[in-house]
Amino acid sequence: MTRRDWEKARRVPTELRVQMTRAAASGHHAWVEARKDSDFASFLPYLRKNVELKRRYAECFEWGDSPYTPLLDDYEPDMTTTEVKEVFDVLRPALTELVAAAPEVDASFLEAEFPIDRQHAFGARLVSTLGFEGGAWRIDPTAHPFCTSFSNRDIRLTTRYFKNNLESVWSSLHEAGHGLYAHGIASTLMRTPLGGAPSLGMNESQSRTWENLVGRSRPFWTHWYPQLQETFPESLGKIALDSFLRAINRAKPGLIRVDADETTYSLHVILRFEIEQELIAGTVALEDLPEIWNAKMKEFLGVDVPNDGQGVLQDVHWSGGGIGYFPTYALGNVISLQIWAKVREAIPDLDDQLAAGDVSVLSEWLRANLYSLGRKLTPRELLERVTGSGDLDPEPYLAYLRKKMNGLAA
């Protein structure tokens, strides 16, 4: 992996690197103001510059299937545009069908008042049980949740709180998944180029595992829901566990990617993947992006976009030249279920353990088989080592969602 990084980096002229860095800095500042004012026109010159530079960057390499592949490869090494498209071509129609058939679920009780100090206390207690060693982590409030680490013994988690919902719970679990990956990397790999996850998709698979596969499951909440009710008796005291589980697992199309549910989320990603390929290929006029975005949102999710702030300007990625990043989110969903199948084989009584509030065996299995290896293997090699196949397979992910949606409809 280290030689591969060097071989790729040395192909890029220093002056191009400088221009890309400067364009990313100025683009981010312009995006902040443009999103606030819902003013795409003011952001357009900065986007145009970033796209032009990314096209030049892609030309530094010789990837045959698409000029988009070198950009994707920055975040998901050894992955090609063709491979991602094959996976997304399976996901898109299947997810669209699932969303269209999703039942209406009453989740109004999750829009009650949940005092932020109690949210923070509950979230911190929850995260403390997931497998972090004492003193190796902390969690703090932020405007947009993220996880960063300075070693496997210094993990900084952040989440955001709103007094009228409980999204901080799953945000905390999501960031804890990233943190557990960093925490589990072998100490011998720290301070070396191998001291990280091999790809963003692999890393995202673990944030999705803890947020969704664990954190939206019945066994997990069999243990934790009574404690959540005790924390918020006014809002949840009379809400049954079944009603709570239906609400936190429902599918409902919306405008904003970061607020999307499990079933609709990957559709947001596929939309961006399609647009990004056209940006790099030069087959769309940049000034037409809002119109293109809005049309795809209607086609993919059936929603109308009221303004550019909630549409084409909602994400930070393009402002800093982060083209090629988005697919890794959906790939993380796919990979998470491929690994989860092996977890289930290795820990046949996992549901009983989760229902007892014990994630120690799960956490240790993931550390030993995945996290501890850092970047010693490529993403494909690591996936093959864990699951027996290095190929992406969307079917376990789709089967999981179908089972969940069928359960909601029952």
Per the rule left: phi > 0, alpha: psi between -120 and 50, beta: everything else, 80 is beta
Closest CA to 215 of 122, 92, 290: 122
Helices (H), 81-166: 81-101, 116-127
Considering the candidates 175, 204, 211, 262, report the single residue annotated as catalytic. 175
Q: Say how far apart CA 264 and CA 256 lie, in whole Å.
A: 10
The answer to whether the CB of 382 falls within 8 A of the CB of 199 is no
175 catalytic per annotation: yes
| The pair of three-digit structure tokens given for residue 371, joined into one six-digit string | 């996290």
Largest Cα–Cα separation, the chain: 63
Q: In which residue are the tokens 């190929």 written?
A: 391
Closest CA to 327 of 146, 52, 69: 69
The answer to whether the CB of 247 falls within 8 A of the CB of 215 is no
Using a 10 angstrom Cβ sphere, with 0-12 exposed, 13-18 middle and 19 or more buried, the burial of residue 387 is middle
Helices (H), 102-157: 116-127
Closest CA to 134 of 85, 93, 183: 183
b/e code 263-273 from CB counts within 10 Å (16+ = b): bbbbbbbbbbb
Active-site residues, by number, are 175
